[in-house]
Amino acid sequence: MTRLRPLTLATSASIALALVVAVATSAGAGTDSDAKHAARLVRDARHAAADHDFTGEATVTWTTANGMHRASVRVMNGDGATAITASDGGEVIDEGRRTYLHDQLGWTGLVIEPSARKIPPPDHRWKLATAGAATVAERRGTVVLATRSNGEPAQRLVVDDATGVLLARDVLGPKGNVQRSVRFTSIDLGEDSLTHVGVRGGMRSRKAEPLASAPDGYHAPSTLAGFQLVTRSRHPDGVLFFYSDGVFTASVFEQQGDLDWSALPSGGSDSQLADTRTRTYNDPSGDVAVWEHDGLVLTCVTDAPSDVFAHMVGALASDERSTAEQVVDFVLGPFGWG
């Protein structure tokens, strides 16, 4: 049976990777040279956090059936680590290849992050183009857009011109509406901007152990609706598979057993996806779906737009491939500075 912690793990992993794993974007318009320039900006943004210490305040907004919501987070980056503290006291720390969550249940190792070489290039799936300039937190940056095949934008980034640090990120729905957004309201870049960020007492990396392959009883395809599998890790409650398409991230958290619907957090909505009962949530870090299939409980989280999310979940819930190819997904989606 699933409990609260696995869902917390899923959504928090999404937040963590969004803040510390590479982000990629694209756009349909522009010349080949502009597309290459846009891709270079995104690749550089992936490494900028390792080259620049900074502290700042950021605002996260997201849309649910009840309207727009807003939250503030404190971001500290330095000494090869990033710490994100939310207004409710929750904290995520990324240190190299490990990411940790602290909540009311203590510290938990969330994910084993992929090496940069395993992440698809920014233009693996999406077209890339610049779209002028913007000012965020009194810093001038270049706008990079990601567009769907029909030319509609799917993501908009603002990359700091001086440092390459990601200043803002908007995820856009099929009609151009902003479904979630994260942007600095203030940021201080420089060697004296912060104190040490690192592992705290009580963190246990053994709670998330890397895997070379999927264990018996768990299944994960090498590709999923345009996403590529880049890491696998075992957790006390199941196995987490992390995907990326070079622009967005997706993860798959699989648990063996039956789904205890009454143990899921409130605030979700029930729906039928591919004739499968599904509980969905709209969180600051991404969209979440939970369901059960063939003896497995699936938690799917992604930072991708709603249409991409629906396609992924629909494919997973209606999977008709062989057992060895069945998808057990938790889609991780991140907002990222890193």
Domain assignment present for residue 253? The answer is: yes
Beta bridge partners of 292: 297
- Among the residue ranges 175-179, 245-249, 257-261, 328-332, the one predicted with the least confidence is 328-332
Q: Are 309 and 220 in contact (CB under 8 A)?
A: no
The helix/strand/coil state of 217 is coil
Domain assignment present for residue 235? The answer is: yes
End-to-end, the C-alpha distance of the chain in Å comes to 35
Which one is predicted more confidently, 146 or 315? Answer: 146
Provide the mean pLDDT of the chain. Answer: 75
Domain assignment present for residue 1? The answer is: no
Cα distance between residue 54 and residue 137, in whole Å: 13
pLDDT (tens digit per residue) in 115-132? 556 777 877 788 999 999
Q: Supply the CATH number for residue 313's domain.
A: 3.30.200.100
**Counting beta carbons within 10 angstroms of the beta carbon of residue 310, is it exposed (0 to 12), middle (13 to 18) or buried (19 or more)?**
middle
Confidence grade of residue 138 (pLDDT, cut at 50, 70, 90) = very high
164-170: average pLDDT: 92
Report the percent of the chain where pLDDT is more than 90. Answer: 19
Which one is predicted more confidently, 57 or 322? Answer: 57
pLDDT recorded at residue 207 = 58
Domain assignment present for residue 300? The answer is: yes
Which one is predicted more confidently, 98 or 112? Answer: 98
pLDDT (tens digit per residue) in 183-226? 999 999 875 554 455 545 444 444 568 788 888 888 777 887 88
Domain that holds residue 257: 206-325
Q: How many folded domains does the chain comprise?
A: 1
The segment with the largest mean pLDDT, out of 3-12, 83-92, 121-130, 186-195, is 121-130
pLDDT (tens digit per residue) in 14-26? 444 344 433 433 3
Domain assignment present for residue 111? The answer is: no
Cα distance between residue 29 and residue 63, in whole Å: 27
